[in-house]
A and B are shown apart, each in its own frame.
Chain A
Amino acid sequence: MNPLAKIGHYTLGFLTHTGRLCVFMAQAVLAMCQPPFYFRLIGQQILRIGYFSLPVVALTSFFTGGVLALQIYYGGNEFNSETIVASIVALGITRELGPVLGGLMVAGRVSSAIAAEIGTMRVTEQIDALTTLSTNPFKYLVAPRLLAAILCLPVLVLLADIIGVMGGFIVGTQTLDFNAATYIQRTIDFLEFDDINSGLIKSAVFGFIIAIMGCYNGYYSAGGAQGVGRATTNAVVSASILILSANYIMTSLFFSS
């Protein structure tokens, strides 16, 4: 194939893909907003996506807060380190690291699981069967996962924020011999409601990305076990990349003024 044709081929492929994804997202959002609602399934997904992700997110966030405190202490000058460590840990965790690392961990856990489950349902014709049982797969499969992820991620990230700041606090007071009361006071002084809020808005968007990438890749998987495997990988990779780029865009929007 000549190089020009190759470029054209890939461009067309990319455009088809993007178009299909946009239609898929529109259908998914529509299904999420219109009855019938499957409340039992939504509850089930909240349990799976939210509750069972708690340990992973909590551990990630705890150690990140701790390591952040150490690095800032060693890297910065020793003068006034108490204030600097407390403030940077608080801001770093709530603004960026809590939402992004939490989002990435949940993407690894949940996007892959969703893609594998829906992909298997696709290749074993269970999704076809749903249609013949007068059930819309978007309402039955996609909408509950999407809704659960959008609801759960902010809650997870709020907890991650608290635990991350606590990680910094514990390292600060136990290893670096900071005064506990001052550390807490500094944290409260520097932290503003908007810092936490922006992180929570971000995480709701990440929840959408995580669920939609899992569903989309699973829904269009083909070719048996290998196809499901590919869908799973694609789901995690695309969700992670989208989370990181969406995070950049949102940060530049929120903190530009």
Chain B
Amino acid sequence: MIELANIHKSFGPKHVLQGIDLTVEKGESLVVIGGSGSGKSVMMKSIIGLLRPEQGSIRINGVETIGISARQRDKVNRQFGMLFQHGALLDSLPVWQNVAFAVRQQKNISTAQARAIAQESLSLVGLGAKLLDLYPADLSGGMHKCVGLARAIAAKPPILFFDEPTTGLDPVMTDIINHLIRDCVRELGATTLTITHDMSSARIMADKVAFLYQGKIIWVGTEKEMTNSDDPFLHQFVNGLADGPIATEGVIEEERERGRQEERAEGRGKERAEEQNGAP
């Protein structure tokens, strides 16, 4: 069980997390959605101890983890598996050593056993054994991500974190991964926290969805409640609409307005071109 209470995190003047409250029950799959740059990755890195929030409390199975010693942190982290947004494979090691890394750190196993674990883990994410001896630099972007996912689940940790597991994958892979994450929860009883931008992924794997907006979790509910919600922010986000109350970071309102005008102008231009070409 993961409990976040009133988490604040700033980078210089930038106040990214402004009081996050979130609970992930044991054996639950929670999906976090939210705009680009809203602080989803920062939140995840805070939970696994890579970033230290200035304020608030993060409890893993009831144990406070902010400010614990390096040794205790290591113990806590042994329960975790993490997929980074950009894979973060160790590029000095071949794929199989990457995937079996945590297992080899934690237990004394032979090379052959480690390879077998790596292969099993890779097949779970839909990759073949011929990848085992390649280096991360030889992989495509999507394969990179999948190997990262295989690495996260290889040691079968009870708590899993996935930062955008399906971004950059082809539709078949996406489906495999969506169901894999759901199965991790249903069959292995893992607790998972997933960040995604993909609403169809969220619908498949989420027990619960949390919406992060402007540094706060402003909505939590089941996937069904999400679809039927009349919260204007959530509605705009879930349906991917340009018009709505959500302020996009870095995009100034005027620019968006100009964009819309250009779109309209373009539309008119197209009509005119069609007229000239003798379309009805």
Which residues of A are interface residues toward B (Cβ below 8 A)? 121, 124-126, 128-136
Q: A126-B91, A128-B50, A129-B90 are in contact. Are A134 and B45 (CB under 8 A)?
A: no
Q: A131-B50, A132-B48, A134-B105 are in contact. Are A125 and B86 (CB under 8 A)?
A: yes
Contact of B84 among A121, A125, A135, A136 (CB under 8 A): A125
Measured in the bound complex, the distance between the Cα atoms of B151 and A125 in whole Å is 15
Given the complex, which residues of B lie within 8 Å of A135, measured CB to CB? Answer: 101, 105
Measured in the bound complex, the distance between the Cα atoms of B89 and A132 in whole Å is 12
One of B72-80, B178-186, B212-220, B260-268 contacting the partner: B72-80
Closest to B154 in A: A133
Given the complex, which residues of B lie within 8 Å of A131, measured CB to CB? Answer: 48-50, 77
Asked whether, in the complex, the Cβ of A133 is within 8 Å of the Cβ of B84, the reply is: no
CB distance from A130 to the nearest CB of B (A): 7
* A–B complex contacts, Cβ < 8 Å, 17 sampled: A124-B86, A124-B91, A125-B84, A125-B86, A126-B90, A126-B91, A128-B50, A129-B84, A131-B48, A131-B77, A132-B48, A132-B81, A133-B101, A134-B74, A134-B78, A134-B105, A134-B106
Which residues of B are interface residues toward A (Cβ below 8 A)? 45, 48-50, 70, 74, 77-78, 80-82, 84, 86, 88-91, 101-102, 105-106, 151
Given the complex, which residues of A lie within 8 Å of B48, measured CB to CB? Answer: 131-132
Measured in the bound complex, the distance between the Cα atoms of B112 and A232 in whole Å is 38
Given the complex, which residues of B lie within 8 Å of A134, measured CB to CB? Answer: 74, 77-78, 102, 105-106
Contact of B82 among A121, A124, A126, A132 (CB under 8 A): A132
Closest to A41 in B: B92
Given the complex, which residues of A lie within 8 Å of B88, measured CB to CB? Answer: 124-126, 128-129
Measured in the bound complex, the distance between the Cα atoms of B45 and A128 in whole Å is 9
Asked whether, in the complex, the Cβ of B90 is within 8 Å of the Cβ of A130, the reply is: yes
Given the complex, which residues of A lie within 8 Å of B86, measured CB to CB? Answer: 124-125
Query: Quick one: which of A129, A131, A135 has the most chain B CB within 10 A?
Result: A129
Given the complex, which residues of A lie within 8 Å of B80, measured CB to CB? Answer: 132
Measured in the bound complex, the distance between the Cα atoms of B102 and A121 in whole Å is 18
Closest to A117 in B: B92
Given the complex, which residues of A lie within 8 Å of B70, measured CB to CB? Answer: 136
Given the complex, which residues of B lie within 8 Å of A130, measured CB to CB? Answer: 90
Query: Quick one: which of B48, B78, B89, B90 has the most chain A CB within 10 A?
Result: B90
Given the complex, which residues of B lie within 8 Å of A129, measured CB to CB? Answer: 82, 84, 88-90
Asked whether, in the complex, the Cβ of A126 is within 8 Å of the Cβ of B89, the reply is: yes
Asked whether, in the complex, the Cβ of B102 is within 8 Å of the Cβ of A133, the reply is: yes
Given the complex, which residues of A lie within 8 Å of B81, measured CB to CB? Answer: 132
Asked whether, in the complex, the Cβ of B105 is within 8 Å of the Cβ of A133, the reply is: yes
Given the complex, which residues of A lie within 8 Å of B78, measured CB to CB? Answer: 134
Measured in the bound complex, the distance between the Cα atoms of B50 and A134 in whole Å is 12
Closest to A138 in B: B70
Measured in the bound complex, the distance between the Cα atoms of B106 and A135 in whole Å is 9
Asked whether, in the complex, the Cβ of A132 is within 8 Å of the Cβ of B91, the reply is: no
Given the complex, which residues of A lie within 8 Å of B89, measured CB to CB? Answer: 126, 129
Given the complex, which residues of A lie within 8 Å of B101, measured CB to CB? Answer: 133, 135
Given the complex, which residues of A lie within 8 Å of B90, measured CB to CB? Answer: 121, 126, 129-130
Measured in the bound complex, the distance between the Cα atoms of B222 and A221 in whole Å is 41
Given the complex, which residues of A lie within 8 Å of B105, measured CB to CB? Answer: 133-135
Measured in the bound complex, the distance between the Cα atoms of B101 and A47 in whole Å is 23
Measured in the bound complex, the distance between the Cα atoms of B186 and A99 in whole Å is 63
Measured in the bound complex, the distance between the Cα atoms of B89 and A136 in whole Å is 16
Given the complex, which residues of B lie within 8 Å of A136, measured CB to CB? Answer: 70, 74
Measured in the bound complex, the distance between the Cα atoms of B105 and A130 in whole Å is 11
Given the complex, which residues of A lie within 8 Å of B77, measured CB to CB? Answer: 131-132, 134
Measured in the bound complex, the distance between the Cα atoms of B87 and A121 in whole Å is 12
Extra contacts, 8 of them, besides A128-B50, A134-B105 (Cβ < 8 A), are: A126-B88, A126-B90, A131-B50, A131-B77, A132-B77, A132-B81, A133-B102, A134-B106
CB distance from B50 to the nearest CB of A (A): 5
CB distance from B154 to the nearest CB of A (A): 10
Measured in the bound complex, the distance between the Cα atoms of B78 and A128 in whole Å is 14
CB distance from B111 to the nearest CB of A (A): 12
Measured in the bound complex, the distance between the Cα atoms of B78 and A136 in whole Å is 12
